[in-house]
């Protein structure tokens, strides 16, 4: 029983005001820009999927942008980040090239994984993204392996493992928490608790909605944060990552959030046939991480309305240009199907 957690999921006693104390204007505008870029890019994918321009499924994280952006702001290029099926924000927040990102989702040769993976197999090692896979929880032990490697190699690099409340139900996640703790591996586990595993609410799947109970069980320091509050996430990441880099072993962030679209693709109601409550979606949309940051920036006169409008226009242009270029980019050749599978 944790009051803060309960208030977050039940929308009780919440102050929606974001506390920006200690953050510079540059930091805050950067947060806004990054979150808006991710939002615009994902909304572009939503409409392209609706029009059947994209061949495979896309798992959109609209509404959850603050988590990746807040964590990424505390990482170095040599840190190793692992994602899963809903990882657009994870890779874009690290600075992935938006054209290569779109090209991958369209299956083009210039894509992040040379067009071989699509939305759920993203890879961008130069920016620290070591991959996403559709196998729920599949990358969690890989992040622990990367953390153990950092211990052996005596670097102060960390690894980050993003996973969802559904993934928490996989045995390997529990083994990973235990192994990271016992080896003192610098792994930041980021549990994105959006309360749903495809169509099913967490309360129908677990005896308690709070995932941090597993961090407690494994003696891993943890922080529960409002996943729609960028500065809270950044502060929690800062605190935990400092300990990770100082050799104190793993940390765990439970970011409570909500995805606006259904489990897959663009509709709000497509959750394997079971509709979510429309009222709940409405309440969560009021807690939009982007709107909340804009509000405080305007109130504190850290930005003007016209500046936000210019920023939006610029970002929309960046997204549109990258998309158009990706549409025109060539597909991989038939030959590359073999040359990328077999050595020589
Ligand atoms: C091992 C495995 N089991 C089941 C699935 C089917 N599946 C894909 S996504 C998903 C839900 C995962 O929920 P969660 O981890 O909470 O992530 P979210 O989709 O909410 O971001 C499921 C069950 C899968 N891809 N892999
Ligand atoms: Mg989930």
Tens of pLDDT, residue by residue over 48-89, are: 999 999 988 999 999 999 999 999 999 999 999 999 999 999
> Is residue 160 within 8 Å of 190, Cβ to Cβ?
yes
Helices assigned H by DSSP within the chain: 3-10, 25-50, 65-72, 88-93, 98-105, 140-152, 171-183, 213-217, 230-245, 278-286, 289-299, 305-328, 334-339
Give, in degrees to the nearest 5, the angle at Cα 102 between 35 and 341: 130
- Three-state DSSP state, 160: strand
Alpha-carbon dihedral angle through residues 89, 105, 193, 9, given to the nearest 10 degrees: 80
pLDDT of the residue at 273:
43
pLDDT tens track for 191-208 = 999 999 998 999 999 999
How far, in Å, is the centroid of ligand 1 from the Cα of 303? Answer: 39
DSSP 8-state code for residue 124: B
> What residue owns the CA closest to ligand 1's atom 11?
197
> What residue owns the CA closest to ligand 1's atom 8?
136
Average pLDDT of the residues of the chain: 95
By CB neighbour count within 10 A (0-12 exposed, 13-18 middle, 19+ buried), where does 185 fall? buried
> Which ligand sits closest to the CA of 256?
2
Give the separation between CA 95 and CA 72, rounded to whole angstroms: 9
What's phi and psi for 224, nearest 5 deg?
Answer: -95, 130
Q: What is the largest CA-CA distance in the chain?
A: 62
Global confidence as pTM: 0.97
pLDDT tens track for 254-311 = 999 999 998 999 887 655 545 578 888 899 999 999 999 999 999 999 999 999 999 9
**Which numbered atom of ligand 1 lies nearest the CA of 168?**
15
> Is residue 113 within 8 Å of 122, Cβ to Cβ?
yes
**Which numbered atom of ligand 1 lies nearest the CA of 64?**
21
Write the CA distances from 44 to 48, 61, 108, 316, integer angstroms. 6, 13, 17, 10
Contact residues of ligand 1, CB 6 A cut-off: 85-86, 134-136, 164-167, 194, 196-198, 263
- For the chain, give the percent of residues with pLDDT over 90: 87
> Is residue 195 within 8 Å of 165, Cβ to Cβ?
yes
pLDDT tens track for 144-164 = 999 999 999 999 999 999 999
How far, in Å, is the centroid of ligand 1 from the Cα of 40? Answer: 24
**Which numbered atom of ligand 1 lies nearest the CA of 164?**
15
Could you tell which of 67, 87, 136 is best to mutate to test the pocket of ligand 1, judged by most ligand atoms within 8 Å of the CB? 136
Bridge partners (DSSP) listed for residue 161: 82, 189
> What residue owns the CA closest to ligand 1's atom 3?
136
**Which numbered atom of ligand 1 lies nearest the CA of 59?**
19
How far, in Å, is the centroid of ligand 2 from the Cα of 134? Answer: 13
């Amino acid at each position: 029983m944790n009051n803060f957690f309960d208030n977050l999921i039940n929308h009780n006693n919440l102050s929606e005001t974001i506390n920006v104390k200690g953050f510079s204007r540059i930091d805050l505008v950067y947060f806004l820009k990054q979150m808006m870029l991710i939002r615009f890019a994902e909304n572009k994918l939503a409409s392209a999927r609706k029009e059947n321009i994209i061949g495979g499924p896309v798992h959109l994280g609209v509404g959850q942008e603050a988590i990746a952006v807040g964590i990424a702001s505390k990482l170095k290029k040599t840190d190793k980040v692992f994602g899963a099926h809903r990882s657009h924000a994870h890779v874009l927040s690290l600075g992935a090239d938006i054209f290569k990102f779109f090209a991958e989702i369209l299956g083009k040769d210039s894509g992040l994984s040379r067009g071989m993976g699509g939305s759920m197999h993203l890879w961008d090692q130069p920016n620290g993204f070591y991959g996403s896979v559709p196998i729920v929880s599949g990358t969690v032990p890989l992040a622990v392996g990367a953390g153990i490697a950092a211990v052996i190699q005596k670097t102060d690099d960390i690894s980050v493992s993003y996973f969802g409340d559904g993934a928490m139900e996989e045995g390997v996640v529990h083994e990973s928490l235990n192994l990271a703790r016992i080896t003192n591996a610098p792994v930041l586990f980021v549990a994105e608790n959006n309360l749903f595993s495809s169509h099913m609410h967490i309360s129908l799947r677990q005896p308690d909605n709070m995932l941090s109970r597993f961090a407690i069980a494994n003696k891993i320091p943890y922080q529960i944060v409002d996943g729609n509050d960028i500065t809270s996430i950044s502060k929690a990441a800062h605190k935990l990552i400092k300990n990770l880099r100082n050799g104190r072993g793993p940390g765990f962030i439970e970011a409570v959030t909500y995805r606006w679209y259904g489990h897959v693709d663009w509709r709000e109601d497509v959750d394997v046939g079971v509709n979510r409550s429309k009222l709940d979606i409405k309440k969560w949309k009021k807690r939009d991480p982007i709107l909340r940051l804009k509000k405080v920036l305007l109130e504190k006169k850290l930005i003007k309305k016209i500046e936000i409008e210019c920023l939006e226009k610029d970002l929309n242009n960046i997204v549109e240009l990258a998309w158009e270029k990706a549409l025109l980019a060539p597909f991989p050749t038939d030959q590359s199907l073999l040359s990328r599978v077999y050595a020589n």
